[in-house]
Amino acid sequence: MRFAAAIFLAATALAQTAPAPAPGTAPVVGILNYVHAVDSLDRTLAFYHDVFGLDRDPSPFPNPGVPAGTNSAGGTPRMAVLRLPNAGFGFELTESSAAGHKPAPVRRTDPGAAALILSVKDIDPIFVAIKQANAPIITTSGAPVKIDPSDPSLRSILIRDPDGYIVQVVQTPPADGEPAVAGNVHSAAMGLTVGDMETNRKFYHGLLGFDLTGKLDFSTAPALLDLNGVLNGAPTAKFQVVSSDIPGTKANMEFYEFQGIPRAPFHLDVPDPGAPALCLRAKDLEGLLTRLRAAGTPVLNGPVAQFSLTTIRTIFVTDPNGLNIELYEQTQ
């Protein structure tokens, strides 16, 4: 079961809304990691171990050219990549001594708010661990929400990790054919709140080749608004969702748009604690860069950067929602 089908079954029926790119034509051809800058790598790793049973040892950042490409030269970055079961992407935690300020945590409803979505077999022990870790809870009612009246076993909650980054936990059974895993977390996806769904579609489908699907109908389902931290007494609040697998992969990404409530765009520099980023593999990076610039996409590091690995070139751009995106091309 895809995440969107599980979480938003009560809100939207999935249906194709944009034609798929012709085979082999998508500028994006893969994903490396979903990235989250942290204040303290050791503290954040301990959180993901204690709450979710996810482990990875920290290590020096393998490419010294990256700080220059992100305008954070002089930093001494460390990283750890949490390998998530049945996800198709890694969750990269990066720590840099060049990190700037740590702002107030972003709301789920704000454009640019990113989330890691973890599907678990049993949410109850996870919820106990969340409370033991004193992790802030975003969900208005403060406990897992039944998100589908027809299936009370489907429950979900939104929380924050130590850097304010949003984590969504959903109790849902493994998909048919999904490889079995020993731990509680059995799959994962990515989430991003957008400012305007049509603008978002033009960027991700029109420029990057994502095949976005989802019926563009707004939902006012109370349980789902509760899940997303929308306060009671917001009668005009509504939201919609579309999704896409990253081209060339089975890694899934959800896009949400909220309306009828106050929203404020969210954007941080790449090394700032709490800053999200998406690392995608592209082909014909020069041609893609030309099209991105023509569309007015902010480019962080100017011309294509040549890093220490001579077969890999990388650029950093910002999507229309404020999300930092690293695009890299491996020529050999």
What is the per-residue pLDDT for 303? 52
What is the C-alpha separation between 261 and 220, in angstroms, rounded?
A: 12
11 or 79, which is more confident: 79
Q: Is 142 left (phi over 0), alpha (psi -120 to 50) or beta?
A: left
Cα(153)–Cα(104) distance, integer angstroms = 33
Q: Which residues pair with 31 in a beta bridge?
A: 280
Q: Where are the alpha helices (DSSP H) in the chain?
A: 3-7, 41-52, 66-69, 123-132, 197-201, 222-227, 285-294
How do residues 251-300 score in pLDDT, each as one tens digit? 999 999 999 998 999 888 888 888 999 999 999 898 999 999 999 999 98
Which carries the bigger pLDDT value, residue 41 or residue 231? 41
Cβ atoms of 10 and 149 closer than 8 Å: yes
Q: What is the pLDDT of residue 217?
A: 86
**pLDDT interval class at 56 (50, 70, 90):** confident
pLDDT (average), residues 303-307: 53
Q: Above 90 in pLDDT, residue 100?
A: no
pLDDT band at 305 (very low <50, low <70, confident <90, very high): low
Range of 55-64, 65-74, 248-257 with top mean pLDDT: 248-257
Q: What is the pLDDT of residue 310?
A: 55
Threshold 0.85, pTM exceeds = yes
Does 15 have pLDDT greater than 80?
A: no
- The number of domains in the chain is 1
Residue 128 is part of a domain; what is its CATH number?
3.10.180.10
Quick one: pLDDT at residue 16? Answer: 41
The pLDDT confidence band at residue 77, using thresholds 50, 70 and 90, is: confident
Mean pLDDT of the residues in the chain: 86
Domain that holds residue 163: 3-330
- The pLDDT of residue 21 is above 70: no
Mean pLDDT of 194-208: 96
pLDDT interval class at 312 (50, 70, 90): confident
Q: What is the pLDDT of residue 11?
A: 43
Residue 123 is predicted with a pLDDT of: 98
Local confidence band at 18 (pLDDT 50, 70, 90 cut-offs): very low
**Helices H / strands E in the chain, number of each:** 7, 15
Residue 71: pLDDT over 60:
no
* pLDDT band at 215; cut points 50, 70, 90: confident
Mean pLDDT (whole number) for 74-98? 87
Buried residues in 152-181 as b, exposed as e (16+ CB within 10 A): eebbbbbbbbbbebbbbbbbbebbeeeeee
What average pLDDT does range 211-228 have in this prediction?
Answer: 91
Angle at 77 between CA 115 and CA 158, to 5 degrees: 15
Arithmetic mean of pLDDT, 208-225:
91
CA distance 329 to 192: 24
